[in-house]
Amino acid sequence: MGRLFVVSLEGKIYSCKHCRTHLALSEDIVSKSFHCRHGKAYLFNKVVNVSVGVHEERMMMTGMHTVADIFCVGCGSIVGWRYETAHEKLQKYKEGKSVLERFKVSGPDGSNYWITPEAHVGGSDADDA
Amino acid sequence: MGGIEESERPLKRVKVPSGGSDSLSANLSLTEPREPASGFSLRDSMAWSPSSQGDKDAIGSKGIIKRPEFIKIITRALYSLGYSKSGDQLQKESGIPLHSTVVDLFRQQVVEGKWDESVDTLHRIGLSDEYIVKSASFMILEQKFLELLKKEKIKDALSTLRNEIVPLSINVSRVHELAAYIIFPSSSAVGGPSSQDAAGSKSQSAILEKLQKLFPAAIMIPEKRLEQLVEQALDVQRDACAYHNTFDSELSLYSDHHCGTNHIPSQTLQVLQAHCDEVWFLQFSHNGKYLASSSKDRSAIIWEVKDDGEVSLKHKLTGHQREVSIVSWSPDDQQLLTCGVEESIRRWDVNSGECLHIYEKAGVGLISCGWFPGGKGVFSGMTDKSICLWDLDGRELESWKGQRTLKISDIAITDDGKRIMTMCRENAILLLDREAKCEKLIKENQMITSFSLSKDNKYLLVNLFNQEIHLWRLGGDPDVVSRYRGHKRTRFLIRSCFGGLEQAFIASGSEDSKVYVWHRDTPEPLFALPGHSGAVNCVSWSPTNPHMLASGSDDYTIRIWGLDQVKLKNRDNQKNGINHHSKGKT
C-alpha cells in the first residue's frame, strides 16, 4: 500500500467512516441540502485526502454536469463526487466543489448517519435552497 | 622542461617530397650556412614555400590544418615528452624546423647566459611589436644585472642598469627595485648566492620559459600546445555529451566521447529480498559503501556494497514498535539514525548493528530525523509541530516552535548547519536560518509531499501533490528552475532524489511500479524502468558510483539498477569509425 500521504485537519472534522482519514472541515460546508442515493449529502468548498476518478457527464437533479467520483485515499471507498463543470449558469457555483455523502463520513462529534426509509430515491444533487 | 633544444650542429636540410607527388620539385636539396643576414632565414622561406603549392600543405579531412604548423607542434610535443632524438629526426625528415635559425640561436644564447649576444639576436628576429622586444630585452638585462650584482661587479651592474635597462623605459617600478638592490645587496628577492648558483642552469631555463610567454606563438611554439589542443577537444566532447555520466578518467582519445543514455543505470542487476513488508525509504551512505533501507515491517536494514557492485545484507536493525519511515547516515557513515513513525528515533552503530541510543520525548511522537553537521547532534521534527535538537546523549540543545505540519514532515539541514528546511503548512517549505534567526518561505500552489536537498546545498527537489516535481534554486530569492513530469502519484508518499555525475540527473519512484529517470535539463523522463511489482516508494543514487541506482517498493523488495551491458557492447562495436560531431547538445 505504500506510505499514505495524508493531510491532517484541525477543527471540526468530517472523516471517512471506515478508516477515519480526515476529509473536510465543518467550516467549509456550503450547503447541507444535497441528496444522493444514500440520503443526505453536504456540499463542501474543500475536501482533502481524496483521489479523483474519471470525469463523466451525469444528469443530476438540476441538470447536466461533468462530475468525477472521489475516493478516500486511506481505504479507497467512494465518499462522494466533485463537480468539474456545470452546464447551466445557475449551477456554476458548484464548480470545483465536492459533495460528501453523509452516510460515508463520521461527523465532527463522531456521529454517523444511517440510511432512512425516506431516503431520496429519485437521484442525486439538489439546489441551494 | 624537457629537452633544452638542439646543441650546436649544422643543420643540413634535405627536402623530401610531400605526398609522394612528382609535381613538386622533387630533388630540392639544400644545405646552407647557419647565419643568414636578416629576419627570417633562407631556410624558413624555403620551408614556407611549399604552402604556396596549395593543398599539399593542408592536412586533415577538412583541409584546414596547416602542415608546417601541425608538424611543429608535434615536434614541440616530442621535446616536451623528452624524446629529443625523435624531435631532431622529425625536423630532419619533414624539413620543417621547429624554430627559425635566429630563434634557435637566441634560445641557445639565453640558455648559456650570453646576455649581450642574446639581446642582439633578439633584435634580429624581426618582431614587429616593439613592446615585446623591449620586454624581452628587459628580462634578459635584468638577469644580467642580477648576475653581475651577485658577482659583486657593482659598477658593471650599475652601468647595465643606467645604460641598457633604463633607456628601454618600461617597467619603471621594477627598475627602482633593481636600483634598490645595489644598495641592499642582501635583499631576499635576489636570492641567496647558493640557491641561484646551484640552480644555475635551472634559472636559465626559467628565463627561457618566461621569455617564451612573451613571444608570439608563431615565432616560438608554446610548450604543451598539442596537449592543450587535445584537452580542448575532450572538453568539447564532454560538453556535447547530453547525458554525460562517466568519470573523466574514462575519457579516451581513441574515439569521440558520447555517453548517450547507455551510461545511465537502466537494468536490474540485483533484487534484494529481506524485508517482510513494504520498503518505504532507502539511502546510500556518503561513501557509497553501504545502503540503508527502512520498512513497514518496523525494521531497518544495513546493506554492504562490495567493490564489484554486489550488495549483501550486513545488519537487520529491529526494535522500533512502529513502521520505520526514514533513515539518516551520520556524516562519517559510522552511525545510522532511524525514525519510527510518531514514535522515537534510534541511533545505531553501523559496524556492530547495536542500538546506541533512543531519543524520545514524553507525550510527543517524532516524525523525522537528521544529523547535525559534524555528527555532534541529532535533530527531529515532532507531532506538536516543533523541531528539537539534541546532543548525542539526548540532552536537548535547541528547540523551535511554530507552524509545521503534523503527520508527514521532511526535514533537511545544510552542510554548514546554518539553515534548516522543513515543511510548513501544506504548500510551503520553511527555510530557517539559525544564525540570522530569520525565516524564508518557498511557496507552491500545490501541496508538497516531500523534498530533498542537493549535495551542494544549492537546489531543492520538491515533490508535489499533482504529480509534478519542481527543482528550486536556493539563494537570495529561491525560484523554480525546472519541472519534471511523467511519474504517477495519487495516494502515496513517493520520493525522488538527485544523482549521477555532478547530480545532473533526477530519479523518482512512482505508483505505477516503475522507476523514472530524468536529466536535469529535460522535463520529459529519459527512462521509465519496469521491474517492481508494486509502487516504488523511494530511490537513492549512489554518491560515488554514478552507475548505481537503488529503489524500494511496496513489493517488499529493493532493486539495484546498473548499466545495460549489452547496449554498451553494441555501441562500442559501432564506434570504430571516425565520428564527426558537428552539433552540440540535443
| 8 Å CB contact between B127 and B219 | yes
Question: Which residue is associated with the grid cell 647595465?
Answer: B160
Residues of A in contact with B494 (CB under 8 A): 2
| 8 Å CB contact between B562 and B309 | yes
Rounded Cα gap, residues B401 and B413, in angstroms: 17
Per-residue pLDDT at B48: 46
CB contact under 8 A, B537 and A2: yes
Name the residue among B493, B534, B554 with its Cβ closest to that of A5. B493
Measured N-to-C along each axis, helices B67-81 and B84-94 cross at an angle, to the nearest 10 degrees, of: 160
Per-residue pLDDT at B185: 64
Rounded Cα gap, residues B129 and B219, in angstroms: 12
With H, G, I as helix, E, B as strand and everything else as coil, classify residue B209. helix
C-alpha cell at B544: 560515488
CB contact under 8 A, A6 and B490: no
| 8 Å CB contact between B385 and B402 | yes
The whole-angstrom distance between A95's CA and the closest CA on chain B is 19
pLDDT lower than 70: segments of chain B = 1-56, 185-205, 402-408, 571-586
Question: Which residue is associated with the grid cell 551491458?
Answer: B565
| 8 Å CB contact between B538 and B559 | no
Residues paired with residue A15 on neighbouring β-strands, in sequence order = A22, A106
Tell me, what DSSP letter sits at residue B361?
B
CB contact under 8 A, B492 and A2: yes
Residues paired with residue B303 on neighbouring β-strands, in sequence order = B291, B313
Q: Measured between CB atoms, does A73 come within 8 Å of chain B?
A: yes
Enumerate residues 6+ apart whose C-beta is below 8 A from B584. Answer: B239, B240
**From the DSSP assignment, how many helices (H) and strands (E) are in chain A?**
0, 9
- Type of residue numbered A106: S
Per-residue pLDDT at B18: 45
How many inter-chain contacts (A to B, CB under 8 Å) are there? 45
The whole-angstrom distance between A121's CA and the closest CA on chain B is 32
Annotate B498-518 with DSSP letters as a single string.
EESGGG-EEEE-BTTS-EEEE
Annotate B296-356 with DSSP letters as a single string.
TTS-EEEEEE-TTS-EEEEEEE---SS-EEEEEE-TTSSEEEEEETTB-EEEEETTT--EE
With H, G, I as helix, E, B as strand and everything else as coil, classify residue B572. helix
C-alpha cell at B459: 537546489
Find, in chain A, the residue whose alpha carbon is nearest to that of B554. A2
Task: Using DSSP bridges, classify how beta strands A105-106 and A98-101 pair: parallel, antiparallel or unpaired.
Answer: unpaired
Query: Complex ipTM above 0.85?
Result: no
Phi, psi of A43 (to 5 degrees): -95, 125
C-alpha cell at B170: 618600461
Rounded Cα gap, residues B388 and B380, in angstroms: 5
Among A1, A3, A49, most B C-beta atoms within 10 A, so best to mutate, is: A3
Q: Where are the alpha helices (DSSP H) in B5-64?
A: 42-48
Q: Measured between CB atoms, does A6 come within 8 Å of chain B?
A: yes
Tell me, what DSSP letter sits at residue A4?
B
CB contact under 8 A, B491 and A51: yes
Tell me, what DSSP letter sits at residue A82?
E
Enumerate residues 6+ apart whose C-beta is below 8 A from B483. Answer: B468, B469, B470, B471, B523
CB contact under 8 A, B426 and A2: no
| 8 Å CB contact between B510 and B468 | no
Handedness of CA B130, B136, B137, B138 (dihedral sign): positive
Name the residue among A3, A6, A51 with its Cβ closest to that of B280. A3
Among B322, B410, B463, B491, most A C-beta atoms within 10 A, so best to mutate, is: B491
| 8 Å CB contact between B181 and B154 | no
* pLDDT tens-digit map of B362-392: 888 888 888 888 888 888 888 877 888 888 8
Nearest to B341, CA basis, from B369, B363, B371? B369
- Type of residue numbered B265: P
Question: Which residue is associated with the grid cell 539511502?
Answer: B283
Report the percentage of chain A scoring pLDDT > 70. 88
CB contact under 8 A, A73 and B491: yes
With H, G, I as helix, E, B as strand and everything else as coil, classify residue B193. helix
Per-residue b or e along A70-79, where b marks 16 or more CB atoms closer than 10 Å to that residue's CB? bbbbbeeeeb
Residues of B in contact with A6 (CB under 8 A): 407-408
Find, in chain B, the residue whose alpha carbon is nearest to that of A52. B490
The whole-angstrom distance between A9's CA and the closest CA on chain B is 9
With H, G, I as helix, E, B as strand and everything else as coil, classify residue B281. strand
CB contact under 8 A, B491 and A3: no
Question: Which residue is associated with the grid cell 466533485?
Answer: A82
Band of the pLDDT at A115, cuts 50, 70, 90?
low
Residues of B in contact with A1 (CB under 8 A): 278, 492, 554
**B326 HSE (CA, 13 A, CB side):** 26
Residues of A in contact with B368 (CB under 8 A): none
Rounded Cα gap, residues A46 and A97, in angstroms: 6
* pLDDT tens-digit map of A43-93: 999 999 998 889 999 888 888 889 999 999 888 899 999 998 888 888 888
Nearest to B110, CA basis, from B191, B37, B214? B214
Rounded Cα gap, residues B245 and B260, in angstroms: 9
Q: What's the pTM?
A: 0.70
